[in-house]
Every structure is written in C-alpha cells, then in structure tokens.
Amino acid sequence: MESDADDSEKYAPESGSEISIEDADEVEDRSWDDPELVRENLELILGSKHTFQSQAYSSHRYNKAPNPVLTVSEFGIVTLPLISKTAEDLKNYCIQLSMEPQDAGADAAASSTCVWELPPESFTSLNYAWNSFMQDVCTDVGSAFCVDMDDGRITCESETLLLLGPGARIPHSRMVSHEDQVFAKIMVSLPSEFSGGSIHFRHEGESAHHESGPHNLLFTSVAAWYTAVHCDNNPITEGNRLVMLYNLRWASDAGCPHPPRYDLALSRLERILQAWKLDCERPQTPEVRADGTLPLRDSSRQRYKTPEQIMYLLKEQPMHHVRESDTDDSDESDTEGDGGKATSGANSGSEQSGKGASSLRGGDARRFRLLRRAADQQGFSLGFADASIQWLSAVTFTRIPGQDEILPLEWDDHKNEETRSMGPLRTAEGKLIQDDVSHDRYYGDSIPEDFMGEIFKGRWQSEYWHSDIEHPNERYLRYGYVTRDFTGQLLVVWPRGSSRIMRYQAHDGFMRACSDLEGHLHEPAETMSLARFILEHSDHSESRAAKACAKAACAWENLELWDSATALCAGNNILAIIPYDVMLKAVTCFGLDAVRPSFERFIREDSSTPRKLRFISTIRASGDASDNVKRWAANQVLDSLKSLQNLQRDDIPALLDTAVESDGVEFIRASMLEHVCVVAKPETLLDFSVALFDDPRFPVSDTKHAVVHDALSVAMSQASLVSKRDLRLAKRFITAILNASCFDLLSRVFNNLEHHIPSDGNNAGEYAATVMLPLLGHSLEHAKSIDATLATHKSSLDTSMRLYLDRLHDRANTPRGEPDEYIGIVLDTVLLSPDPGGEFARVFDLLKDAPLSAVDLRALANAVHGRREGLVSHMVLDTDSLTDIALSLGQRYALALALDSPGEIMSVLNWSDALGLPSVADIVLQRLRSVDFGNVTYISTILFVVLPKLKVWAVHNDRLADIRSTVQSVVSVWFEAALGPEPVLAPAVTQALARLTSWTCDCAQCTQVRNFLRRTGNHELVLESIGAVRRRHVEAEIATHASTLATKEIIYQHGPFMQGCRVSKTRPLLPPVLWRREKERGKEILSGLASGAEELSDMLGEAYNSIAPLVLSWAPIVLAGDTQVKEPDVDPAASINQLASLEHEEEPSAILDSVKTEDYAEGLPSYPINEASSRVVKRERTLDLEGRPSGSTGTDIEDEDPPPKRTKAEYSDSLMWDSLQKW
C-alpha cells in the first residue's frame, strides 16, 4: 500500500458518468432478479467506480513535505526530525494517557505510560506551507477514496498530537470515531527516529498495512482510513514517534462517504447470476405471435432471454511495449509514441500482457475476485480472451544522430489500415478452452466494435519499423511504415456447459451473425442453427433479423422461415425493411396466395402512400405477373390512394408512375386528383401540377389542361401569395400558370395583390416596390421568353407606379438616410413593359417637378445612367435625352445636398465626374463660394479643411481655373473670421509673468515649469514619476509664485508610490496658444495648396500678400504696377513672443531637453465647435488674471457696462476656448 506521492503519478478519477453502487440502490429491488436485465445489471455492478476504483484505506510517503514548525505552549518550537532529548523535554508539557481496555495485553504497561497527548488548542503550526501540504494530502486521500474533497460539506480538522514512546501504540479511541459525521481519519507521522508502529487494515475480505519504513528521519508518512475499517497497530519498538491526527468531517445528515461495500456488490452479483441460471434452466414455452405464427426454434433447446456469455473489457491491466526495426532487431526504446491513434506506452520491456488472473491489478483484481466468488456459488465459468489490433501506417520520421532513437514527425492518415483479431477463451489459470470455440471454419475472429475505441485508448505494446527509405525532398528525413500492436484483455463469464460463442455477443455480435447468415446461404444444413439463433435474439434489431432471415427463407424455399421473418417486420416504414427483389423472389418461390397476407399487412401498416404504390408497381411489373397478380395490384392501388396522407415532393414520381400504368391522365382525374388536392400542401400541389404538365408520358389534351388548371387553382386558393416572404412561391406559380396558358389564374393573382395593398401610404409604396412590381416584372419577362401576350398587366402596373411615386414624395421630408433600394426595380419593370418608351416618359414627367430627397435623386440618376444601354436598345430615348435627364437629376441633387462634411463635398464632386456631369460640380463650387460670413464653425472645420482635397480633384479633372475663385473666397473668409489678429495678453498677465523672476528655486522641475509658463507652445506640462516629495515641492512653489497662471493635478503612474504632477495653463494664458494652433493648421493647409510662393500667389490672387507673410512667413510678392507691399498689421511690441525679454536667468538646455510635454498641436481637437457655447467675451482682446476683459481700472470691473457685441475675430477665440474645455 505504500507509495511516494512525489515520485509517482497520483490517481486521477476516470472521466465519464459511471454508475456507482449507491446509484444502483435507487433501482427497484426486483430488477436484480430480472433475467432480461442480466447484461445491464452486470455491467452496472462491474462498472461501479466507487466499489472497484476507491479504497477503504490509503498510505503515502512524502519526501518533500514541509516542516510544520510546531509551537507548543510554554515549550516553544519542536525541532524536526525529532530526537530523543527533544522528545523527553516535550513530555513535560504533554498529558500522559492512561491504559484503555481495548489496548490491554502484554504491553499494557508500556501503553499506559508511553503515550502523551496534546489537544489542538495547545499547539500551532507557524509554517503557512503546512496548510498547502495538508490540502495536497486531502486531495490524495480523496483520490484514493474516490471522494470529491472540494465538496463544501467535507472539512479536515485537527484532532490531537500524540507522542509515542517505546512500547506505545496509538490508543484505540483515537483510531475510531464515536461521531457519525466523522467518516475518516488521517494520521501524519512527522520525521522521527523510531521503528515499529505499523498499522494493519481489514475490510470485507481485503487487508493491507501501513509501515512508515526504515527512513523515518527523512520522510513524512501519511495513512488514511475510513472509521468503519478495522485497524490494528503495533507498538513502537524503539525511539519516539510524533503523530498528528486529523478528522474528515461530513457536514450533512445524509450522503456521508463510506468505504466500498464489497459484500453488497457480491450479494447482487449472486442474484444476477442466479436469475441468469434460472432462465437457462427454464423449459421452452413457445410464444404465439400476433399473426398466429410460431417462432422458428429447435424443440430440443431451451428458451433464452439472457445472453450466452458476457464480455467485460478490463481497464487496469499492465501494458508494455517494445520497438523493433528491420535494420536492427535489438532496438528497444521507452520513448513514447506519438501522432494520431498510435498512443504510446510508458514502460519498456518485451513481455506480453498477463494471460490469467495473476496479472490483474487494482480494480480489475477486485472485479475478478467478487465475480469469481459469485460464479462459483451459482455455477458459472470465468475466463479471459485477448483482443488485439495491429495498426499499420505510413510515417515520415528521423533518426536522432548518435542514438538509436526514432522520432516520428508526420503520420499519413490516408495510408493506414487495421487488422483485428481475438484470441480463444482461456481459463482463469491461462489454459485454453477448445470446446467453447465453434464456427471457426466459417468465420474469422474479429473484435466487437464497442471495444474498439477503448482498446485504442490503451498503449501500444510492440512497434515494428520497416521499409526505411530516404525522403525524396528532405535530406535528414526518412519515409517508411510502422506497425503497432494494441491489446485489450476481456473478462468473460458464461454458464457452465454452454457452447455459445462470444463472436455474436451483444448488439455488434448479433449484427455480425446476420451478415454471416447472408454470406453462407449456400449451406442451409450448416447455417439453419444460425438462423434460429438470429430469430431468438431478434430483440437486438428486428428489422435486421427479418431481412437476413427473409433472404435465407427464399434461398432455402422455407415458407415457415419466411412467415417468422415477416412477422418481425413492423413500423411506419415496414415496406423498407425487406428489399423488393427479395419480395419478388418470395412471390416466385411461394406464390401470391402464400405471401399475400404478409404483403397486405405491409401495405396497411406502412405510412407512405408513394412507397406503397412503388411496392405494388414492383409486384405488378414482375416478368411472370399473372392476371391474378395484376387484379390484386389494381385493388391495392385504389385502397392506397384512399389512405393518401401528407404528400411530399419526392412522392410525386411514384404517383405519376402509377397513373401511367393505369389509364393515364384519366386515372388522375377520376381516382387521384381529389385525394392529392386534399392532403398536399400548396407547394407540393404546385410541384405535382408542374410535373404532370412536363411529363411527356401524358400527351397534350384538354383533359390534361383541365387537370393542371384545377390543381393550380386549388393550390392558389390554399397559398398566401400577397407578401414579400411569399415572393419566391408566387413567381413559381406565375411561371407554371404562363407555361400552362392559364391566363385567367394570372388575373386572379394580380387582383388578389391589389386587394391586399396597405392603407398607409409609405407601406403601400413599399408593398408596390417589393411585391407587385417584382411579380409584374417576372410575369412580363417570362411572357416574352415564351412569346405570350399579356392583356391584364396595364392596370396593375399603373397602380404600382402610382403607389411607388407617392412613396418617393413622402421620403422627400427625410434628407438623411439610405437611398430607396427599389428604384432599380421600377426601371427594370418599365423596360419589360410592352411600351417601355411611353411608360418611361410618363414616370419621369411625374418625377420632374415632384419633391424628392437628395439620396433618392442621386439613386435615380445612377439608375438612369446604369441602364442607358438598355433604354437606348429598347428605343425608349436617345442618348442626348438620357443625358439631359441625368443632368437635371444631378443638378437637383447638388442643390438639395447639405454639404456639411468634407467627405460629402468630395463625394458629390467625384460623382459628377464619374457620370460626366461637369455642371453639377459648378453648382457645388458656387455654393462653397457663397457661404455665410458669420458661420465661422463651418468655414474653419469644413470648407477650409476640404481645400487640399479640392485641389487634388481639380488637378485630376483639369479644373484648376474653375476652383481658383472658390479657394480665394474660402481662404479670405477663414483668415478674417477664424484666425483673426494675434491676441495680446492683458497687462496684469504680463506682470504676473514678470514676477516669475522671484521664483528662484533652480531644481529641474521648477525650471521646467517656469519655462513652460513663459512660452506659448503648449498648454500642459506633465512631470512623470517625480515622487511625492518633489511633487509637493513643485505644488508649493506654484501656489506661491504662479497661482494665477497655472493649475496643478496629481497623477499616479506605475502604482501609488510613483507620483507625478500635471501643470496646466490658466485661461488668461491660452489665447496665444490657441491662435498659434489655428495658425499652424492654416500653414499646413495652405502648404498643401501650393508647393511654392508663385503657385500659392496664383491660387490666392490679391489675398496672398495679406495672408502668406503672416501664416507662412513667406515674403510678399510685388505685382506688376505696385510700388510697395503692405505689410501685415501686427504690433511686434505687444506680441507674446517678446515675453522672453522678461526672463532674467538663463536655463540650462539639458533641463529643457528632459521636459516631457504633450504638444497641444497634436492632442487638441478641431475647433471651433459651436458658436452658441462660447463663454469668453473680449473687448480689446486682453484678459485679466481672472479671465475677464480688462478695463481702464485694472482688476476692478464690477461697475463696467455690459460688454459690446463680439466681432468676427472674437468668435474664433471664444470657440477655441470652449473646444479646449471640452477636450
């Protein structure tokens, strides 16, 4: 029982939902004695995980267990490993136990004087790793007990600490529990110098022992057992032993874990085998089937409800593997195989798996032990059989240089095969059982399919490499084949004296028996017993048994076997069980009168009328069918049609075949059509009409036309053809109606559509576009394809067009949104009409003056332009007229468009270029030039931004001259309204900046802040990771010297202990920053308009000399006739750039380089945003320290008059401030 938890794999519970004995308790008691449940009950018991996988006790040894660092009150820390001196000193602080009656014996004196105890409140563990170790111990114990230790109802609690001296043993009262909720004990022996003290466990016929081992000083040993298990422990022979006891407690009144109940499993196994045995001994009582026939059974044999034998695949058998090669027969390796199905083994060796009971381990050994006891009691035999699979596959591999190692790299799944084999039965001692292997001369042995997957989950035992050739493409790779052998061991139980073979065991074996019977019909004397076996075990698959036995009955001309086979047939698809060729052969062998009862029962019980008709047709069409057969077939056809139900599309050919064999279309009208119209769905009835019309076996006649007309009429009356979801079905109906020339039904279709037009105008227009117009177009197109003339389309077309145009008018109030998706459908329908020219002219006359949305105007222009070839080919209009129509729509579109984004402006320009409509672009450019001067936001964020893209478009289309006036107008308005003159700081702000000279701290952070406040490049400074001390220092300096110029904010980076500071300029310092940002943006856009001064001057004209010098810092250009150039009106003395003269100290450049700032030009969003949101009011573009307009009295402005109305330049500044606040 000993194991090393650190050196070996821990037990892992098997996956799946195996049924345990506890689950079996829920089954009614009488089920264990039911002979029909022998297999299920036996598998339920043997598959019990708790009974056969769990243990009643466990033992582990841990060589890496932590030191608990035990601390005893008033003693201190107990050093480990425990030595004699420490033990003697510790006894003075423990409670000495007295002798218990259960411990009386030869060593009673020692037991009463050498056991010391400490209650759990007297000691503690200081090592936190000990708790984790105990969790691992509990996990190992739970694995051994098959108990989920993560269940919240299970707790592990410390009970006591025992110190055992020489001659002492653990008291019996500590080995058991008197509490019902304590279901198990855990004993932890800490490293100590002692010997002896082994524990012996006994539970329901099994026994084991726990021995700490000879290395008690080096390891921590753990033993666990259920409290219901009997325990005996030997005394300590030498030294002192320190033991910690734990209780596993169950915190519920029900479902407490318990040790495996072997006796319960044994008693149930005996009851199962007894039921099996009694059924085998019961005399045969023939059963009379429902049709009055008797089952075909040998009177000398008994009636078996139970199987002949039961096989169980063992799961814990030892597996070894050996690798061989055709180049080196001695090559062995314990390297694990890999790839695909070829899972590897973990052990090396050349021995094959065990052949008898002595090779069983763990749960398999328990299964065999209990099952053998029950089998001996009830007179059953146990044996073993090997199931082997040889797997051959092509593989690309390599040989590791300097080693004999073979490394598979890639398996070829397309080049592999399996060879299955099953060895003969053997006794538990390994001796062969020859008498129980029969039918071997006819059938090769094979593994049942239900065991295949489990065997492949095992490990391969042997591996053989062959055909080792060099890879054609890779130098170091080899190509060849590998053969691996997989083996599984089967435990077989059968009644003593039975000669049944295990080949036909279970469902898969039964299916093999049916296949074997069909393959050996030429030997009736040898295989008749197999046919009886199939009939007796037909409960596995009655349909398969009926098919195999019916074939055998026809081959052997055995009417009794035929009756027994057909009696097994039942169900809604009874006619599909036995093949039709077998039934025809039965008519030939036995005659119609002999097989008619079974045939008529098949026809009555089968639920498919077409299948009935095909079967009747097959019998009637047989080569030797007599008049009697034909009369019987005709009567059966009439009876089958009366029971026609739920006709499907695949059933239509059978109906038409039956009609052809009868009186043709007359038979359909007289005997079939009425039933078909009642039971068929509209789609199926339509398919029936189309199939009948297209079938050349029914010649064209008035009767055929009338039948098709009636079928289509009934189908239309049952179908819904008035909604968009019915469009596909309605088109199919229209196609069938036109093909069959049933024009009156077409009028019904469109009249029905008009009756379902919605009352709401918008919905009515959508209904016309999505339902009426597509159906009209489909009918017109199909009528043209078959040269048919329609006279009923005019009214529906007019109604549809009127409704759709009303829809477009209603959409005119919706300037945004997607274009109407049905405009193309309207034009396509117009092209398909008999008079496309007249319809087109009428439609566009109505659209000429009608209000339409911008997106619909563009969609109409696109639709006309895209169909110009079709319109011209249909002689609707000539090319010039189509161009005029598209131009009119495009001009209306350019005037209706909002032009509220650069993308929209460029979209309409590119669109006009794609359609060849330059006048549309002229309208757009004119609208850009005539923008309202006061709309500063629109000018700055849209018109000014679109200029570079507008130039690219003009260059591409050779229209630079056309956009020059537009560019000049937009740039001039931007320069005056959006940029304006450079702002000047208020005197109070300038004085505050001058007072920064009193800020004398020369630390790096203070220097950075001072330089930041004096410059206009940025609006924010971030000091990262300067620490709390420096941050507080900077904030104090700002509060002292620059409280009106800057605000401060704490920032945390990489945790709370790495603090920083964010310094932002106050509102009075921002106008120069914002003006500079707008100037930089203007510089970027103007630079994109021209590559040089000459080109920009040509683009801007007279405005160049007033804009370029200030924005781009380019020199003015003297035009012809000018004697002087007017310089920009800028006051350099008041410029913010001269604030540097106020600085009286030189700052080191290294400090400036270390400043990490966030450039305002990169982070600030576009502005201005909204004129109405402005909150800054200026008079002379100067602000005081509080952000208010400065007056003649300096800071006191409370008595001033309300500020005057803002100028255009003030709009820009106020909107910039509002944009910054939002950002």
Query: pLDDT for 625-635, tens place per residue?
Result: 577 777 788 78
For residues 229-242, give the mean pLDDT. Answer: 88
pLDDT-wise least confident of 587-601, 718-732, 812-826, 1099-1113? 812-826
Contact call for residues 389 and 420 (beta carbons, < 8 A): yes
pLDDT at 499: 43
pLDDT at 547: 93
Q: Higher-confidence residue: 642 or 170? A: 170
Contact call for residues 242 and 78 (beta carbons, < 8 A): yes
Query: pLDDT for 849-870, tens place per residue?
Result: 778 888 888 888 888 888 777 7
Bridge partners of 395, per DSSP, are: 411, 480
pLDDT at 821: 73
Collapsed DSSP state (helix, strand, coil) of residue 572: coil
For residues 478-494, give the mean pLDDT. Answer: 78
pLDDT-wise least confident of 23-37, 100-114, 310-324, 644-658? 100-114
For residues 952-962, give the mean pLDDT. Answer: 87
Q: What are 1193's two structure tokens?
A: 């009295």
pLDDT-wise least confident of 190-194, 304-308, 990-994? 304-308
pLDDT at 505: 63
| Residue 759 scores a pLDDT above 60 | yes
pLDDT-wise least confident of 287-301, 372-386, 589-603? 287-301
Q: What are 1026's two structure tokens?
A: 């300067």
Cα(348)–Cα(1204) distance, rounded to whole angstroms? 101
pLDDT at 552: 92
Bridge partners of 96, per DSSP, are: 116
Query: pLDDT for 546-591, tens place per residue?
Result: 999 999 999 998 999 999 999 999 888 888 899 988 998 888 888 8
pLDDT at 453: 62
Going by pLDDT thresholds of 50, 70 and 90, the confidence category of residue 1169 is very low
Strands 322-325 and 460-470: parallel
| Residue 755 scores a pLDDT above 70 | yes
| Residue 918 scores a pLDDT above 80 | yes
Q: For the chain, what percent of residues have pLDDT higher than 90?
A: 5
For residues 332-346, give the mean pLDDT. Answer: 33
Mean pLDDT of the chain: 74
Q: Within its chain, how far is the Cα of 1180 from the centroid?
A: 67
| Residue 733 scores a pLDDT above 50 | yes
pLDDT at 246: 92
Query: pLDDT for 966-982, tens place per residue?
Result: 888 888 888 877 777 77
pLDDT at 545: 93
Q: Hey, what amino acid is at 1101?
A: G
Phi, psi for 161 (deg, rounded to 5) = -125, 120
Q: What are 309's two structure tokens?
A: 């034998």
| Residue 188 scores a pLDDT above 80 | yes
- Non-local CB neighbours of 43 within 8 Å, separated by 6+ positions: 310, 312
pLDDT at 563: 92
Please state the length of the chain.
1223
Could you tell me which of 24, 33, 40 has the C-alpha nearest to residue 274? 33
Going by pLDDT thresholds of 50, 70 and 90, the confidence category of residue 400 is low
pLDDT at 772: 85
pLDDT at 448: 57
Helix-helix angle 902-915:854-866, to 10 degrees: 30
251-287 exposure pattern, b = at least 16 Cβ within 10 A, e = fewer: eeeeeebbbbbbebbbebbbbbbbbbbebbeeeeeee
Bridge partners of 1060, per DSSP, are: 1051
Q: Higher-confidence residue: 178 or 135? A: 135
- In which residue are the tokens 């199931």 written? 387
Where is mean pLDDT largest: 620-629, 734-743, 1071-1080? Answer: 734-743
Contact call for residues 765 and 804 (beta carbons, < 8 A): yes
pLDDT at 382: 84
Residue by residue, DSSP assigns 676-705 as HHHHS-HHHHHHHHHHHHH-TTS---HHHH
The pTM assigned to this predicted structure is 0.42
pLDDT at 333: 34
Could you tell me which of 709, 764, 700 has the C-alpha nearest to residue 733? 709
Q: Higher-confidence residue: 62 or 1104? A: 62
Cα(309)–Cα(513) distance, rounded to whole angstroms? 15
Query: pLDDT for 85-144, tens place per residue?
Result: 888 888 888 988 876 655 555 455 444 568 898 888 889 898 889 989 999 999 898 888
Cα(1000)–Cα(320) distance, rounded to whole angstroms? 86
| Residue 1168 scores a pLDDT above 80 | no
pLDDT-wise least confident of 140-144, 366-370, 452-456, 590-594? 452-456
pLDDT-wise least confident of 319-323, 484-488, 589-593, 636-640? 319-323
Going by pLDDT thresholds of 50, 70 and 90, the confidence category of residue 542 is very high
Q: Higher-confidence residue: 519 or 502? A: 519
pLDDT at 1196: 32
User: HSE of 461 in the Cβ direction (CA atoms, 13 Å)?
Assistant: 19
Where is mean pLDDT largest: 57-61, 354-358, 648-652? Answer: 57-61
| Residue 840 scores a pLDDT above 70 | yes
| Residue 752 scores a pLDDT above 70 | yes
pLDDT-wise least confident of 58-62, 132-136, 440-444, 722-726? 440-444
pLDDT at 336: 34
| Residue 930 scores a pLDDT above 60 | yes
| Residue 159 scores a pLDDT above 50 | yes
Query: pLDDT for 596-634, tens place per residue?
Result: 889 888 888 888 878 888 888 888 777 555 777 777 887
Q: Higher-confidence residue: 1182 or 1029? A: 1029
